[in-house]
Amino acid sequence: MASRRFYQIAKVILEYGLDDLIPPNWIPWYAKAGRHCLFWLRNRHQNTSRGARARLALESLGPVFIKFGQMLSTRRDLIPADIADELAILQDHVVPFDGKIAEQTILDSLKISHIEDLFADFDPVPLASASIAQVHTATLKESGDEVVIKVIRPGIEPIIESDVELLRSIAAVVQKWLPDGKRMRPIEVVEEYQKTIFDELDLGREASNGMAIKHNFTNSKALYVPHFYTDYCTQNVIVIERIYGIPVSDISALRAQGTNMKKLAERGVEVFFTQVFRDSFFHADMHPGNIFVSTEAPDDPHYIGIDYGIVGTLNAEDKHYLAANFIAFFNRDYRKVAELHVDSGWVPSDTNVDDLEMAIRAVCDPIFQKPLDEISFGHVLLQLFNTARRFNMVVQPQLVLLQKTLLYIEGLGRHLYPQLDLWSTAKPFLENWMKEQMGFKALFDKVKNNAPFWAEKLPEIPDLFFNTLNQLKVLPELQRQQHEALKVQQRIHQKATLYGMLGSTGFVIGVLFVLNDLPVYYDASAFILGGIFWFKAISKVMSKP
C-alpha cells in the first residue's frame, strides 16, 4: 500500500512538472538518472504557470499535502510571490464535493428526515471548501439565526490513513539510515501529526476546542470566536454562527476601510502568545483562510477566528523554558540560552555549555546586526536548528505545532505590516508572564489557588501518615521476600544453562560416535542423554518458583 502511494506521489510530482522548480545544481546525478528512467511520466501541464501546477498537484494528492501547501502559502519570505498566491487558494478553495452528498450527511448525522425540518434557505452550493470539510450556509428555522454547516468530506479517512502510513515508512527509513535520524525523532513527529490530523476529522472535537477558546477570550478586544450550536454538533457535522468579515489576506479591502494595519499585526502576535502562555491552549491552524478581520472599528481592529480542528497544548515546564529562551534571545543572553537547552534536556546533559554558547553567538550576532523589523524569526530558527545538530539536539515533537504556528503568525504579521517587529511586540508580554510565574506574588497565587484542595485533603493526612508508617514497617520483609525470589530465579536460570550445555554436549558426542562408526548403542545413549538434559533445561525455564 505504501509503495503504491509512493509511486502515485512521484507520478503526480513528475506529471505536474514540479521537479522543474528545483534548481538543477541541487539535484544529484543519481536523481537525474532516475528521472530519465521514468520516461513515461512527462510534464503534462507545460502551458500552466508554475504556481498553478504546484497547487493542482497538492490538491490531487489529498489533505495531508494540501495542509503543507497552506503552510507554505504564508511563508512569502521563503517562496516566490506567484507560487504563494496560488497556494493561498488552498486555504478555502479546494475542489468541493457534491452538495447532495453533504445534505445526506447532514440528515444522517442530525437524524432528521428533511433538511427543512431544521434549516431554512439551505444552500447546496458550498460557501467554502477545504481539505477536510466544506461549509454550506443556512438559516436556523427555529431562531432565524444565520449559520454555516460544516460537513466532513466523504471517504477522507482512508486517504489520510494511507498518507500517514507512507510518512511513517519514510520516517522509519530516515531514523535508521540518516546520520541525524535518531536526533530528529521523525517517527514521534509523524505520530504527533497523526494524532493532530485525526483529531481534525472529529468535528465534535473542533466544536469543543472552539468553545474552550471562546471562553478564554470572553470580552476580548483582540479575538472573536463564533458561537457553536452544540445541539447540532456531531462527529461529521457542526453548526456555527455565520460571521461577516474581511479575509485577513485581502490587504486592499483592509486598507480601503482604514484598518490600523500596525495594530492589527501586533494584535495577531499578542493573541498567539496569550493562547500559548496564558491559556496553554492555542489555535494551531492559523493560516489566512481561517482568519478574518471585523469591519467594526477599523481603528481598533479585532480578529475573527474559525476552524478549531487543530489545537496545541504545552505543559508548564515547556512554557517556562520557551518563555525564558525567548527572553534570553531578545536580550542576546546566549549563555542563558545554552544553559536552558541543557537544563530542559533538549541537548544531552554532558554538552559543553561554553561551546554551545559560542556556537549560538556565532549564528545570532550577525543576524542581530540588522534592524529588528528585518529579522525573520523563521530564519533565526532555521539557523539555530542547523547549529544545534552539532550538539545532538533532540527534536521535541510537542513543540512542532508551536513552531509551525509561530511561523504562520510571523508570515501573516509581515504580510499585513512589513515593518512588524515581532521581537519587541512579544518581549513585554513574555517578561510580564515570567514575573507572574516567579517571585512572592506567584507563590502567593499558587498557595491561594491550591488552598481549597489542601483544605479538603487536610482531614486525610493522619490516615495517610499512619498508612505510610505501616508500609515502612513491612518494607524490610517485602524486600527480603523479593530478594529470596530473585535468588530462586537466578538458581533456576543457572541450572537451565547447565542442563542446556550438557544436552548440547551429549548431541555433539553422539554425532562424533556416528562419524567414527562406533556401536549404535553408543550413539543412542549419547543422543538420549542429550535429549534428557535439554528436556530438563526447558522444564526449568518453564517452571515457576
Burial of 372 (0-12, 13-18, 19+ CB in 10 A): middle
Question: Is 333 one of the annotated active-site residues of the chain?
Answer: no
Radius of gyration (Cα) for the chain, nearest Å? 32
Picking from 336, 342, 140, 353, the residue whose alpha carbon sits closest to that of residue 227 is 140
Work out the angle between the directed axes of helices 353-367 and 377-388 (0-180°, nearest 10): 150
Rounded to whole angstroms, how far apart are CA atoms 22 and 9?
Answer: 16
Q: Per-residue DSSP letters for 100-132?
A: HHHHHHHHHHHT-SSGGGTEES--SS-SEE-SS
Q: Residues 6 or more apart from 175 whose CB is under 8 A from it?
A: 181, 182, 184, 185, 186, 187
What does the chain come to in residues? Answer: 545
238 strand-pairing partners = 150
Query: Which grid cell is 60?
Result: 490531487
Q: Which residues have C-beta within 8 Å of that of residue 259, sequence separation ≥ 6? A: 293, 298, 301
Dihedral of CA atoms 20, 22, 25, 26 in degrees, nearest 10, equals -140
* Segment (H or E) for 311: strand 311-313
d(CA 333, CA 206): 40
- The x, y and z cell numbers of residue 453, run together, are 484542595
CA 413 to chain centre: 22
User: What does the alpha-carbon distance between residue 153 and residue 133 come to, in Å, rounded to a whole number?
Assistant: 5
> Rounded CA gap, 38 and 33, in Å?
9
- Distance, in Å, from the CA atom of 175 to the CA atom of 183, rounded to the nearest integer, reads 8
Q: Which of the following is catalytic: 92, 163, 285, 523?
A: 285
C-beta pairs of 132-136 under 8 Å, 24+ apart in sequence: 132/63, 132/156, 132/200, 132/201, 132/309, 133/203, 134/94, 134/96, 134/97, 134/102, 136/99, 136/102
- To which H or E segment does residue 522 belong? helix 520-542
Catalytic sites, residue numbers:
285
